[in-house]
């Protein structure tokens, strides 16, 4: 993602990414090292950037949204660490470097994931304590955290991961594949955008539009990832390709073919753009981002 | 725990334990089954009971504390599921039945743990939304969730588990053993009591006393558990004994001997009781509980 705005948000997140982690005792240094190893592995920071952008778009102060932006990256990172474990996807490579358990061992990787997930909520709740004399802002934060907890939870990301896991080596219906994509990937992306909007006190209409944008973007993003798993360059991706095929995972290209999948990415991207285009210049970031993500598999 | 008051709180928690879990889709039924399998395995429910008791003691309505009480049991249960995994303690038996991964497989057990942890925060944050017209009660809830997130996190329970894991097969100093106990066990017990007190709007003095009680109780509880691992009855405990010795874990009996450990349980129990005794009848629950827990290893 190369847009100036994206890079600005990304830099802001990078600068603060470790800041909202709890201060750990030197006796827990391995835990901290393991958590920060994965956090600093150079991801796209898509979710935190979207959170900040949504907050900014709705007129909020992006800097005040940073604890929530970083928290959602903690959550995303924990999910990758656990997903890579031998008992799950058993991946050795992530973001171009060895996966967490390859470096720190499985036990620490499990605990680092747990630590990041808990730290996300600790950071957000700690931030709430600062708004006791501004009830309106406090309520916005409560709403934001609720969105994030839902998106990350058993009606969101985790539901998608369980369904994904359960369909390995099995025939998967188109309906179930949609369910997996909506939950595994789109739910947390939606939560990021919705949380950012809530922090800025967005009205229902704007919230609904951002939600629709994020759902389409999230689905396009996952299908593109599935395409890249077949078609992509290991070095550019920073992770192994062909993994889905080996594990007999049901993916969009697998059920619909490569061309049909690319068309679907295009369609979802156009849907996403269409929601935001009426905002013209104000929504430039969102329109460009959708286009850039789609262009990965043009 | 047989006191009438304990059983009353426990029953209240049992009745509501599944109520605050998010409603899951039928496609996530395995996840739900795995989560509830461990939740309903018949634990002591010590942490939620303590949370309700502390709330009640400080003049709060115990029923309104239920989402937080159940959430802390979700957290405790997730920690047991992950702790039992092959990569961690590799335990087959917990609360008298096969451990989660023995029944559902490792992948689902990891996700069930993640699901319970996230559900805890989802449940608490959802409850906060009900208090938007009562700012004082909303603030009390924010304080309570922060306590729980700290106690469960990288400066609490998880720090203790990492240190515990790292000292396996190694010589452990007395200082490090204290660190493990304080964090692995006492931190979440303290968080339970502090959260309950916060929900009732307790003053600093009471909060400090309950904190001191809980720290002593938590430490006594962990040492007693270590003693029972050597001395206890598998059937009564519902888990295998002798496990710490096999794994060469550093425990209190291992560093200090059995008699010295029993004396330490007595001393910590007396400390806990001493803090609460000035409240006479009002603190009967807390005094009796400390005594009962200590009596397991008399």
Percent of chain A residues topping a pLDDT of 70: 96
Mean pLDDT over each residue of chain B, to the nearest integer: 94
Domain count, chain B: 1
Residues of B in contact with A150 (CB under 8 A): 22, 122
Rounded Cα distance, A198 and A51, in Å:
10
pLDDT at B275 over 90: yes
Rounded Cα distance, B232 and A208, in Å:
58
pLDDT at A202 over 70: yes
pLDDT at B245 over 70: no
Binary contact (B125, A145; C-beta < 8 A): yes
Test mutation, A35, A83, A87, A90, chain B, max B CBs within 10 A: A87
- Contact between B84 and B90 under an 8 Å Cβ cutoff? The reply is yes
Which value, to the nearest 10 degrees, does the dihedral of the CA atoms of residues B103, B106, B112, B114 take?
Answer: 160
pLDDT, one tens digit per residue, over B46-97 is: 999 999 999 999 999 999 999 999 999 999 999 999 999 999 999 999 988 9
Predicted pLDDT at B6: 96
Residues of A in contact with B166 (CB under 8 A): 30
pLDDT band, very low/low/confident/very high, at A124 (cuts 50, 70, 90): very high
Domain that holds residue B286: 4-295
Burial B186-205 (b: 16+ CB within 10 A, else e): bbbbbbbbbbbbbbbbbeee
Rounded Cα distance, A36 and A24, in Å:
12
Binary contact (A110, B88; C-beta < 8 A): yes
Binary contact (B107, A126; C-beta < 8 A): no
Mean pLDDT over each residue of chain A, to the nearest integer: 94
* Chain centroid offset of residue B285 CA: 17
CATH number of the domain residue B156 falls in: 1.10.600.10
pLDDT band, very low/low/confident/very high, at A237 (cuts 50, 70, 90): low
pLDDT band, very low/low/confident/very high, at B283 (cuts 50, 70, 90): very high
Instruction: Name beta bridge partners: A94.
Output: A97
| Helix segments in chain A, DSSP class H | 4-16, 29-39, 46-57, 66-84, 100-104, 106-128, 135-152, 157-167, 174-181, 187-199, 204-231, 234-237, 243-246, 252-256, 258-276, 284-295
Distance from CA of A125 to the nearest CA of B (A): 5
Predicted pLDDT at A246: 67
pLDDT, one tens digit per residue, over A164-191 is: 998 887 888 999 999 999 999 999 999 9
Distance from CA of B59 to the nearest CA of A (A): 22
Binary contact (B122, A32; C-beta < 8 A): no
Which among B79, B146, B165 has CB closest to A129? B146
pLDDT at B246 over 90: no
Average pLDDT over residues B127-152: 98
pLDDT, one tens digit per residue, over B154-164 is: 999 999 999 99
pLDDT at B184 over 90: yes
Residues of B in contact with A110 (CB under 8 A): 82, 85, 87-88, 110
| Least trusted range by pLDDT, from B61-70, B116-125, B169-178, B284-293 | B169-178
pLDDT at A16 over 90: yes
ipTM of the complex: 0.96
């Amino acid at each position: 993602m190369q847009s100036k705005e994206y890079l600005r948000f990304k830099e802001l997140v990078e600068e603060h990414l470790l800041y909202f982690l709890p201060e750990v005792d030197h006796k827990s240094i391995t835990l901290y090292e393991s958590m920060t190893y994965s956090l600093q592995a150079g991801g796209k920071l898509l979710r935190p950037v979207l959170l900040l952008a949504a907050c900014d778009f709705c007129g909020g102060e992006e800097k005040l949204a940073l604890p929530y932006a970083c928290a959602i990256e903690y959550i995303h990172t924990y999910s990758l660490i656990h997903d890579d474990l031998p008992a799950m996807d058993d991946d050795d490579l992530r973001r171009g470097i060895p996966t967490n358990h390859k470096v720190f061992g499985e036990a620490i990787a499990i605990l680092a994931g747990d630590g990041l997930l808990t730290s996300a909520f600790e950071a957000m709740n700690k931030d709430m304590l600062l708004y006791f004399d501004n009830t309106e802002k406090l309520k916005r934060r409560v709403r934001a955290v609720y969105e994030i907890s839902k998106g990350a939870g058993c009606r969101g990301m985790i539901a998608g991961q369980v369904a994904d896991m359960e369909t390995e080596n099995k025939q998967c219906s188109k309906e179930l594949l949609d369910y997996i994509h909506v939950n595994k990937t789109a739910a947390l992306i939606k939560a990021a955008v919705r949380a950012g909007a809530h922090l800025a006190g967005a009205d229902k209409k704007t919230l609904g539009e951002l939600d629709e944008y994020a759902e389409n973007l999230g689905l396009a993003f996952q299908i593109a990832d599935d395409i890249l798993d077949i078609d992509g360059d290991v070095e550019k991706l920073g992770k192994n390709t062909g993994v889905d095929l080996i594990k007999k995972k049901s993916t969009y290209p697998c059920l619909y073919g490569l061309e049909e999948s690319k068309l679907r990415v295009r369609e979802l991207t156009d849907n996403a753009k269409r929601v935001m285009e009426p905002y013209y210049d104000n929504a430039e970031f969102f329109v460009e981002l959708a286009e850039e993500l789609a262009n990965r598999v043009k």
